[in-house]
Structure formats: C-alpha cells, structure tokens
Amino acid sequence: MIDYGLEGKVALVTGASGGIGRAAALAFARSGAKVLVCDVKDEEGRETVSMIEAAGGTAIWQRCDVSSSSEIKAMVGRAVDAWGRLDCAFNNAGVNLLGRDEFADENWDVAISINLTGVMRCIREEAEVMLRNGGGAIVNTSSINGLVGNPNQPGYVASKHGVVGLTRQAALKWAKEGIRVNAVCPGVIETPMTAPIVSDPQLRSLVDSMTPMGRFGKPEEIAEAVVWLCSDAASFVTGHPMVIDGGAIAF
C-alpha cells in the first residue's frame, strides 16, 4: 500500500465500522493521519480503532448517526476537541435497502435521509472547520448508481445521483477557499453490505459476468482512491466523481 504523506493531518471517516469505511480509516492512518472513526455500530467501530492502534496509528471512536444533525455536529466537534483541526473527511456512511420497496415512504425516507441528507449535513459541518483551518479535502461516497440507472432501487439511485450533484456544488462553492470536494463511485465491492450477493453463487456469477474485469472490487481498492483524493497528489482535482468499478459502466 502507498503512503500518501498525511503526517500531522486529521481525518474523519463515517461508516467506518467495516467495509470501505474501515479500509479507508486504516489507509488514512497508514499514511500518518490521526483518524476519527465514526459509525452507529459501537463494537465494530471500536474494533477499527483497535486495528489502527495495533498497526501503530492513532485513532479514536465517535458514535454518529448521520441522519441526526446534532450527532454530526458533535462528531466534527470531537475531531477539533481532540486534535484542534480537521483536514480530511470521508463521508461514507450509507444504506442499501436491497430487496425492499423503495417507493414506500418509509424506505424512501431512510435512503434519502442517510445517503444524501446525511452527506450534506456532514459537508456543512466539516467545511466550517476547514475554512477556519485554511482548507481541506472532502470525499463523498456515491456509486455507479449515482451515474447510471437501476430499475429496482429508486431511493438508492436518487440519493446517489444527489451525492454527485452535491459534490459538484460544494466543489464550486469552495474551490477558491482551499477545500476540494470529490466523490468515489464504486461498483460492486465485497463488503458486509453486499453479503447477500457474495453468499449466493448464482448472483455472484451474474455480477461477475456484468463486470469486465470479472470480479468484485475490494474495499482497499476504494480506500486507496479516497486517500489519494485527500492527499496533495490530487491537489488539482475537485468536483470529480471517480468511478472505481472494474469497467462495469464502460459498456
């Protein structure tokens, strides 16, 4: 893995109890950043902290439900209280309501409140701190379903398209103030969220056949892109939805 030179930086990761979020938290720490590990799953989140510490990094745990404005404010405040600043933020927390009717009000509301409104509220609080510090980098998790359609998940598709639009808006808003805002758009990645597909041989074979590279992605492959986007190596990159999907939407 690459060291992106984040010594002395402070990074915040939501949805860090597993999957892409955990991989990103570990990657930030490996590059020298202090990491605020955030999620609603206490045990798994604390496990991420322990993994970082075992590897010689620095991390603390903060519970945060991104559907709550007050918890987001407390989360960002914790980073400032602990380390005095916030340099990098990965707004990764999200839900995928596989198999549920997302036209039903209760499911639509969950998808939008967590996947889109939660990202907006995180950006709002993070940017306020970054502006005081002279800049920073924000990465949001969208999806290939934020760029193309999916006939089965209206709430997921709408929320992830919204994240791409919000990313572009925020990038333009703060482009001259030192805050870069980008998004990652993963294809199918082998995480706890995709476990129902991974565990079904027929579904897995179908997904593999729809991906030109013939396999699922790994959380670490998304994490590397996230940390790169937050590093000085990506200093001229903002407003970009980076597709990481093994070629799935290149057809």
Residue with tokens 């997904």: 207
Give the contacts of 179 (CB within 8 A, at least 6 positions apart).
Answer: 127, 130, 131, 135, 136, 137, 138, 170
Residue 110 has which token pair?
Answer: 């969950």
Handedness of CA 176, 24, 35, 140 (dihedral sign): positive
Marked catalytic residue, from 156, 174, 216, 228: 156
Tell me whether residue 156 is one of the annotated catalytic residues.
yes
Instruction: Quote the strand ranges of the chain, DSSP E.
Output: 10-14, 34-39, 59-63, 88-91, 136-141, 179-186, 241-244
Q: Kindly state the tokens that stand for 48.
A: 């991420």
Q: Which residues are catalytic?
A: 156
